[in-house]
Amino acid sequence: MFHEKSVTGHGAWNRLFDETIASLRFSVDGKEQTLEPTLSMMQDVSEEVRHKASDAIAATLKNNLRVFSLVTNTLAKDKEISDRWRKFGDVADSRHLANRVEREVVDALVAAVRAAYPRLSHRYYRLKAKWFGKDALNHWDRNAPLPQAPQRIYAWSDARETVLSAYAGFAPEMADIARRFFDERWIDAPVRTGKAPGAFAHPTVPSAHPYVLLNYQGKPRDVMTLAHELGHGVHQVLAAGQGALMAQTPLTLAETASVFGEMLTFRALLAKTTDVAPRRALLASKVEDMINTVVRQIAFYTFEREVHTRRREGELTADQLCEVWMGVQGESLGPAIKLQPGYETFWAYIPHFIHSPFYVYAYAFGDCLVNSLYGVYRRAEHGFVERYFDMLKAGGAKHHSELLAPFGLDATDPAFWNIGLSMIEELIAELEGMEG
Ligand SMILES: [Zn+2]
């Protein structure tokens, strides 16, 4: 019955959200445009452009808050009804079950990240404001490109050598698997008209081999993406032995090898980048990525928890939804980001809240887990490489506690998450040191 009713229940509300978002137009200098190009203007080099884009987003969202509030309230109620009939206790328990992770583990992650906000995002944005010659940045400058960040262009052959040598530095067998992707032409790299955007590694079926899609343009970011997708590729090759039903890992562990491969490559690039300006640019872009993956997604999760919990007592008004949003954003971004009028509406366009409630913590989970693993690796513990390969070969056949136990790690312990968070802190500290 739930399944049949979903067509006129949450399915219909999801569709209303999608159709509304697609129909919205945002007015910048008299030009009417859709959401995506307006959002990407918030990363423009010109502060004026970023400011105008932010105002345009706020104005249109404000005009449509009634619909977004109704959609949000209805979906939270719909979920509460299903959760009650299915006897889920906590608002996020159904997601935890789907992710094969326990509530205590996610709680430990969330507690560790929230406690670290001052040491991570607050501290980094204070530094970023200083680079712009200010005490604090307006919210539209949060993802502004850094002042004078020169970018080296990497030829495809350089990218290949960078990633393969970073992988070989960890384990020659890992580079051997990754090399097959180049030698056997399993990668579609160039940008072409009509080609899908973004990047992915697809495992196809275990009896065949994975394929990687990229849109390679030679930026340092593109080298990291190559390292990321090859990490997935290596994981998919190693896990293929589990067969079609068990090879795939749950969401929370799906990004392990990719983020780890990216980290190895980032470290290799960093070691080769000794000039101050490019080194700062490389470090800062890594830190911003990590803050957007870890801090921002945990703030999103905190927003959802509060909305769903309060919805159990009754509907939230648009103003109340905006207040909850401003509360979690202020807490996570800190005093060096000024939340200007209009920002209170920015919860309304985030598709994850509508399409897959509580999904967002999985991003933070994956990133922090890998940082913690990398922390163990750096302490050069004997036998790390073998244990790491065993973990990847297990695919989806083992629980995270079984996978992490050989490393002496326990995800229910906030100290485990702190190993990973301290890696981000270390990068921020190096950036601060470059100031003097
Ligand atoms: Zn990935």
CA 231 / ligand 1 centre spacing (Å)? 8
Cross-strand partners of 202:
211
CA 335 / ligand 1 centre spacing (Å)? 32
pLDDT of residue 409: 87
CB 322 within 8 A of CB 80: no
pLDDT single digits (tens) 38-78: 998 998 999 999 999 999 999 999 999 999 999 999 999 99
- Mean pLDDT estimate for the chain: 94
Please tell me the distance from the alpha carbon of residue 308 to that of residue 357, in angstroms, as a whole number.
9
CA 134 / ligand 1 centre spacing (Å)? 35
CA 204 / ligand 1 centre spacing (Å)? 16
Sheet with 211-213, edge to edge strand ranges: 187-188, 211-213, 200-202
Please tell me the distance from the alpha carbon of residue 225 to that of residue 258, in angstroms, as a whole number.
9
Counting residues of the chain whose pLDDT is more than 90, the rounded percentage is: 81
CA 257 / ligand 1 centre spacing (Å)? 9
Confidence tier at 365 by pLDDT (50, 70, 90): very high
Q: Output the CA torsion sign for 381, 385, 387, 392.
A: positive
Phi, psi of 192, rounded to the nearest 5 degrees: -135, 150
Please give the C-alpha separations between residue 4 and each of 8, 9, 11, in angstroms, as whole numbers. Answer: 8, 9, 10
CA 258 / ligand 1 centre spacing (Å)? 6
Give CB contacts under 8 A, 24+ apart, made by 150-157: 150/277, 150/278, 150/281, 151/219, 151/220, 151/278, 151/281, 152/220, 152/278, 153/218, 153/219, 154/218, 154/219, 154/220, 154/222, 154/223, 155/218, 156/189, 156/216, 156/218
CA 269 / ligand 1 centre spacing (Å)? 20
20 alpha-carbon distance from chain centroid: 25
CA 369 / ligand 1 centre spacing (Å)? 14
Indicate the pTM of the whole model. Answer: 0.90
CA 366 / ligand 1 centre spacing (Å)? 10
CA 99 / ligand 1 centre spacing (Å)? 16
CA 201 / ligand 1 centre spacing (Å)? 8
Residues 6+ apart with CB under 8 A from 316: 69, 72, 73, 307, 310, 324
- 413 or 187, which is more confident: 187
- CA torsion, points 401, 404, 408, 411, in degrees to nearest 10? -60
CA 200 / ligand 1 centre spacing (Å)? 7
CA 261 / ligand 1 centre spacing (Å)? 10
Residue type for position 46:
S
Q: Does position 89 have pLDDT exceeding 70, yes or no?
A: yes
CA 251 / ligand 1 centre spacing (Å)? 10
CA 278 / ligand 1 centre spacing (Å)? 25
CA 147 / ligand 1 centre spacing (Å)? 29
pLDDT of residue 253: 86
Please give the C-alpha separations between residue 291 and each of 141, 265, 369, in angstroms, as whole numbers. Answer: 15, 19, 15
